[in-house]
Amino acid sequence: MAASEVGSTVDREIITTRVFDAPRELVFKAWSDPEHLRQWWGPKGFTNTFYEFDFRSGGVWRYVMHGPDGTDYKNESVFVEIREPERIVFDHVSGPRFRGTATFEDLGGKTKITFRQLFESTAVCAKIKPVAVPGNEENLDKLAKHLATLRSDRRELTITRIFNAPRALVWRAWTDPKQLARWWGPKDFINPRCEMELRPGGAIRVDMRDPDGVDHPMTGVFHEIVEPERLVFTTSAFADEEGNPRLQVLNTVSFAERNGKTKLTLHVVVWKATPEVTAALQGMEEGWSQSLDRLAAHVSNG
């Protein structure tokens, strides 16, 4: 942990930093998903009740922090800027008023968070600083424990393949929905619906149909697109009766040029898996292997 104050706002700003042993996408999710955020937000011994969490520019975040002595603290903030997975800016509009800025820096599998609180005046900052500085430390301690829990429960899979096709061709097979529909999914599956918005924050929708004619809808969101090197996206599947996914996965696909061929590395991290999808998880590696077999056949045909 390190704390420093720089720039012309030095007398009314508190800056706290921490490096977490977790990928940036997972740390950002812990800040942006209310189901995660409510579990760790606040100093040691505090809990939260969220009443509104509209995670978009202009959206409102209303909650009550419950202190260990039973005191309730009402809070309200308005989101100013969201740049996934790099930056979250919000105005804390209930007292004490400040602008909070959290930035997320990728350190090769780890994540550096810098959290800035810019107060209205030097006097307000000086008054709150003796409480805010140790409180921020405790807050990030709780985040570290929460992330450790997420990582201990997660399942990971890495598959590397060499495709006899140039990188640009393999990239298009992943990013053109018409091509993706031809190879996505295990052997004998088809994809009657395949849609995507190829941009950070863009949506993915694939309806996979198994050999028995049963459709398995999958939705997702692109988080990072670096053409033609890397795709990062989440996928959700097996929704329950209320539409909540039973399975959520983070997928990172890397494309490397190898003398006219393409080395593809697929890294899959399971973020959420309820007991109902245990069988699907057991077949995840085989399913991906069959899907990549189909991709190989697709790109070999040009």
Domains of the chain by residue range: 2-153, 155-300
Considering the chain, what is the average pLDDT of its residues?
91
In 3D space, the residue among 30, 83, 68 whose CA is nearest the CA of residue 223 turns out to be 83
What distance in Å separates the CA atoms of residue 212 and residue 249, rounded to the nearest whole number?
25
- Cα 35 to Cα 245: distance, rounded to the nearest angstrom: 13
> Helix, strand, or coil here: 295?
helix
% of residues, the chain, pLDDT over 90? 72
Report pLDDT for 153. Answer: 55
pLDDT at 50 over 50: yes
Which pLDDT belongs to residue 41? 97
Helix axis angle, 24-32 to 122-153, nearest 10°: 120
Peptide bond into 96 cis (omega under 30): yes
CATH topology identical between 2-153 and 155-300: yes
Instruction: Give the pLDDT of residue 270.
Output: 87
User: Is pLDDT of 56 > 50?
Assistant: yes
Q: What is the mean pLDDT of residues 250-269?
A: 94
- By the 8 A CB rule, do 146 and 30 touch? yes
How large is the C-alpha radius of gyration of the chain?
A: 22
CATH superfamily for 155-300 is START domain (3.30.530.20)
Cα separation, 5 vs 79, in Å, equals 23
Average pLDDT, integer, range 29-51 = 90
- The pLDDT assigned to 9 comes to 78
Residue 77's closest CA among 111, 126, 31? 31
Q: What pLDDT is recorded for position 10?
A: 83
Question: What would be the CATH architecture of the domain defined by 2-153?
Answer: 2-Layer Sandwich (3.30)
Alpha-carbon distance 76 to 60, whole Å?
7
Distance CA 115, CA 103 (A): 7
The label of the residue with tokens 């996914």 reads 245
Reported as a pLDDT band with limits 50, 70 and 90, residue 154 is: low
Tokens of residue 244, six digits: 């909540």
Q: Cα dihedral sign for 3, 8, 13, 17?
A: negative
d(CA 27, CA 25): 6
What pLDDT score does 59 carry?
A: 97
Asked if pLDDT for residue 3 goes beyond 60, the answer is no
On the 0-12 / 13-18 / 19+ scale of CB atoms within 10 A, 63 is buried
Cis peptide upstream of residue 85 (ω within 30 degrees of 0): yes
Examine the pLDDT at 103 and tell me if it is beyond 90.
yes
d(CA 239, CA 236): 8
Residue 302 confidence (pLDDT) above 80: no
Which of 8-12, 258-262, 267-271 is predicted most confidently? 258-262
Strand partners, 52: 62
